[in-house]
Structure 1
Amino acid sequence: MDRVKILNNNKVLKIVSILILGSLLLTISAKIKIPFYPVPMTMQTFVVIFLGLAFGSKLATATVGLYLIEGLIGLPVFSNSPEKGVGLVYFTGPTMGYLIGFLFTAYFAGYLNFKTNFLIIFSKLVFVVSFIYIFGLIWLGILIGWDKPILQLGAYPFLYAELFKILILTLVAKKIINLKNFI
């Protein structure tokens, strides 16, 4: 009986540790800007997908959820915060749709089977990351108006960086998936 209790406590400790470290990793990935063309790149989408691949749909979605809650309550976890605001004010700005898309991306990155060949993994990762852009562009259109060049503002500047991150993840996806064994 004591052995079962210890094992359960260890699993809870691992899960809580992953949640906290994952949200911290997301925060760090939002703050570091890497020079890239045509706009600087953050590694948030990379980390969101990484979390899904490494820890599965439930834990990755919970981690992204924790990150979003941290931002909503005013912690400066998002990219360009606190410079451009914190909390609900920042969250409901132009990036809200993208941030909500993180939840779906994390879920599907953890849900889909990535133990296949390069092209299929690449295609699935493109599908997974598309949720970020679908939600992001919908919210951007609602916020600034559909008469504005939504794709030119909210997608095109980021596509090269996204392709770069997806290629890296495609190459290492099978290795990342092995992290699930540690939970």
Structure 2
Amino acid sequence: MPATLADAIWTTKSGSRSWLRNGALAVVGSLFVAACSQIQVPMWPVPMTMQTFAVMTVGMAMGWRLGAATLALYTLEGALGLPVFAGFSAGPGVLMGPTGGYILPGFILGAACVGYLAERGWDRKVWKSAVANTLGTLVLFVPGVAWLATFYAAADGPSIAGTGAETALGAAVVTGVVPFLLGGALKIALATAVVRAGWGVFNRLRG
């Protein structure tokens, strides 16, 4: 059995063709993440973008090395000025801003996490896929929250007053995690369903 869904869809031997295949998949994957980053779904308490859904899907479908490389390419594209970040934003300023930690290194680590588990068969069962995507989402949020907390801790940063928290880290959790829990759960479920559907199609075609 192929190690990942990408291996099942496009199998090649090692060598120059392998590099061509991996490069093509990385480009397509980065464009997929860029497209999903522009999608906003009205939700309570905040609108939901589809970025983390794309990150989890790419990581699980491609494995940890290619998944992480794809998100690194996506980050590089945005840093160089291509409008691939949410709201068609771009530039180093996004990565250095309050939400930059979610992208770098959050997206890369999240994709690597789910990709590592997928290569060990966690994408073959629904409940394991859901657990893998949950762990990947948590890994993604850790550097994002840590980076956001530094802005609350800075003397000229946003005030924690009104967040209901007493510390910079608490304020980062309140504003950078809690509003996105419902949307995060839905995206975990959707990423799980998409990859499982992909395996279903492959298994039916294989007979």
TM-score of the pair, normalised by structure 2 = 0.74
Alignment match, 1:155: 177
Deviation at 1:12, TM superposition (A): 2.6
Change (3 A) 1:18 1:178: farther
Answer whether contact 1:53 1:173 (CA < 8 A) is retained: yes
Aligned to 2:96: 92
State the distance in 1 between where 2:73 and 2:112 align: 14
Relative to its length, the structure with more helix (as a share) is 1
In percent, how many aligned pairs have the same letter? Answer: 31
Identify unmatched segments of 5+ residues in structure 2. 1-12, 154-166, 203-207
Distance 1:24 1:119 in 2: 28
Instruction: For residue 31 of structure 1, report the CA deviation from its aligned partner.
Output: 1.1
| RMSD over aligned Cα atoms | 2.5
* Separation of aligned partners in 2, 1:94 and 1:144: 9
- Whether 1:143 and 2:143 are equivalent positions in the alignment is no
Secondary structure of the equivalent of 2:49?
coil
> Do the aligned partners of 2:102 and 2:140 also contact (CA within 8 Å) in 1?
yes
Write the distance in 2 (CA, Å) between the matches of 1:152 and 1:172. 30
1:75-90 correspondence to structure 2 within 5 Å: 75-82=82-89, 86-90=90-94
Determine whether 1:104 maps to 2:126. no
Deviation at 1:72, TM superposition (A): 1.3
**Aligned residue pair count:** 173
Q: CA deviation at 1:7?
A: 7.7
Structure 1 residue ranges without an equivalent (≥5): 1-5
Structure 2 residue aligned with 1:128, among 136, 147, 153?
136
| Structure with more relative contact order (C-alpha pairs < 8 Å, separation 6 or more) | 1
